[in-house]
């Protein structure tokens, strides 16, 4: 059986993938992701997930490589990782009291036999109306600069999130149900 590689350094993806019980190793892809604010979010996350998986797969052709990319989308604008705390504040203000969509693209690649599997998942998150004091408290508790949309639902989400629809693991960064289906189809899970 082919070994599994996660093409991501994300601690959230590492923790989530570990829940599936399939042994894997981590090889972060050294690629430049497409992150234009006016991009179609579905295409952008699919492109970035494939880019990561294909970069690692080219260097480990016998392995099965999982790439993933997640973004937040509201007002026809993609909210990627904030550049600084001012950008994170602006994102939280924009999301305050509203519903946005979290998109994740998944790509599974195995160069040895040409395996190419892709999936896309969307979930909706509704934020509470956030006052400036809540935004500052949240930013003091959570390191938001490595998170799309400037927040993490799993870290003090009770401060900012009113509710969500769809996959919780998608919102965190790796939709487990769809990931399990891809790995099963690729022969890595029973």
Q: Which residues are catalytic?
A: 69
The strand pairing partners of 14, in sequence order, are none
Q: How far is CA 165 from the centre of its chain?
A: 16
Burial of 56 (C-beta count, 10 Å sphere; 0-12/13-18/19+) = buried
The packing angle between helices 11-18 and 176-185, to 10°, is 60
CA distance 98 to 144: 19
Give Cβ neighbours of residue 190 (< 8 Å, ≥ 6 apart). Answer: 184
19: three-class secondary structure by DSSP = coil
Query: 58: which 2 tokens?
Result: 């080219």
Query: 147: which 2 tokens?
Result: 């998170």
The packing angle between helices 85-95 and 132-141, to 10°, is 130
């Amino acid at each position: 059986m082919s070994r599994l590689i996660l093409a991501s350094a994300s601690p959230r993806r590492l923790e989530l993938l570990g829940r599936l019980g399939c042994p894997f190793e981590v090889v972060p892809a050294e690629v430049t992701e497409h992150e234009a604010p006016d991009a179609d979010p579905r295409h952008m996350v699919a492109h970035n997930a494939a880019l990561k998986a294909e970069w690692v797969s080219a260097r480990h052709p016998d392995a099965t490589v999982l790439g993933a990319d997640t973004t937040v989308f509201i007002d026809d604008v993609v909210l990627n990782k904030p550049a600084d705390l001012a950008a994170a504040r602006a994102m939280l203000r924009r999301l305050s009291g509203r519903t946005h969509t979290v998109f994740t693209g998944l790509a599974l690649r195995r160069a040895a036999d040409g395996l190419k599997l892709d999936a896309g998942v969307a979930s909706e998150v509704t934020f509470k109306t956030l006052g400036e004091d809540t935004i500052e408290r949240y930013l003091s508790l959570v390191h938001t600069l490595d998170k799309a949309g400037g927040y993490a639902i799993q870290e003090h989400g009770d401060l900012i999130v009113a509710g969500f629809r769809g996959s919780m693991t998608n919102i965190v960064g790796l939709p487990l149900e769809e990931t399990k289906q891809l790995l099963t189809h690729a022969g890595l899970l029973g």
